[in-house]
Structure 1
């Protein structure tokens, strides 16, 4: 009959594999809505990123996120102006994250290592092999009833509005919003900006789900 130590060693690789799977990075997903009229061709057109909220203007945090917006427009062929006063287009930018709300998740059973008993496939109530003692499996009495967990989720978002400076005509409006377990704007805002400028300017009036794969560092429309 195998010893308890032997059984525990056999169960350990399974436990580690399940633990690593649970810790895998979750892709960042954002809902993106955009409205636009035909934008001027990039050749010779300049822009300046300005704060939609005057309280953000001049801040180092805003400047960091504004640089992310500017980088996206540079890739499209537009040039950053020396100042808003001489720019062809004013890009009004805003960002936010709320105070969060609680969610409760309940799962009917747990997986773990604990004292077992006879069950459908053996003494562990799970993946038993006919031996008594400790086991790894489902419906493990060591864990009792259902697993109930409470956690906080936050809604974050960015807004971009592009106006022609000469006459104030609105050329583009877009927003990207995401629900996540993080409220750290330095991590959220670059992803939201990335999502907003995917396939820019998009189809006017359409809302799409954009997924950012952390392992590949790419952005693509979700299926």
Structure 2
């Protein structure tokens, strides 16, 4: 069962909000790190390049100097330390295991992400179901994307994409989360959609 879980795709939940996001024509943008500690890093530059490419394909014009951009795109990403997930092999039910109330949407670095980052909810344990279990580690990953007008600092877009998977490799997770963010971009304001992301190739 654990091997099957590793091969399964994970679902990315994407929430987006917008307010007068400018049409691409004539708009320049620069991607900057939401977390100053990531600024200037090679890893951030690689993932920021993914965001830049997607916005460029939509018709926005990238610039290197934020001072010359009409839109400032603030980008962040991360993955938590993982939690053990338990499944029963009991024939009593294919849906319930000994752990109840599992909440896959606890997020990483809640101090930075505020109300949409929260602790994991482990639920409660019922030994009635504990007659043969398998366990494996799952990780919660996510990205945050915010777009501000450079002229007055007004926020015109913000979105987040989160996923629970058996991989903690940012090199795999971040590109897929960026793809999820830009699927149907900018989306309907206030709507959360679930997008299936392909499993990691072994």
TM-score tier, shorter chain, comes to 0.7 to 0.9
* Distance in 2 (alpha carbons) for counterparts of 1:80 and 1:161: 16
C-alpha separation between the residues in 1 aligned to 2:12 and 2:170?
A: 14
Q: Is the 8 A contact 2:31 2:74 kept in 1?
A: yes
Residue 118 of structure 1 is matched in structure 2 by none
Q: 1:148 aligns with which of 133, 139, 152?
A: 133
**CA shift for structure 1 position 22:** 4.2
Question: Which residue, out of 28, 36, 41, partners 1:54?
Answer: 36
149, 153, 157: which one aligns with 1:172 = 157
- The secondary structure found in structure 1 opposite 2:46 is helix
Q: Which has the higher contact order (CA 8 A, sep 6+)?
A: 2
Partner in structure 1 of residue 145 of structure 2: 160
Does the alignment pair 1:182 with 2:167? yes
Displacement of 1:40: 1.1
Number of residues paired by the alignment? 161
Q: 1:40 aligns to what SS in structure 2?
A: coil
Q: 1:68 aligns with which of 50, 55, 61?
A: 50
Once residues 208 and 59 of structure 1 are traced to their aligned partners in structure 2, the CA distance between those partners, rounded to angstroms, is 31
Which contiguous aligned blocks of 4+ residues in structure 1 show a shift greater than 6 angstroms?
A: none
SS in 1 for 2:31: strand
State how far apart, in whole Å, the 1-side matches of 2:135 and 2:142 are: 23
User: What is the aligned partner in structure 2 of residue 93 from structure 1?
Assistant: 75
Query: CA contact under 8 A between 1:28 and 1:191: conserved in structure 2?
Result: no
Q: Which residue of 1 aligns with 2:97?
A: none
Give me the whole-angstrom Cα distance separating, in 2, the residues matched to 1:48 and 1:36.
18
Q: TM-score, normalised by structure 1?
A: 0.67
Question: Can you give the 5+ residue segments of structure 1 that lack an aligned partner in the other structure?
Answer: 1-18, 110-144, 216-223
In structure 1, the residue matched to 2:124 is none
TM-score by length of 2: 0.74
- Larger Rg computed on CA atoms: 1
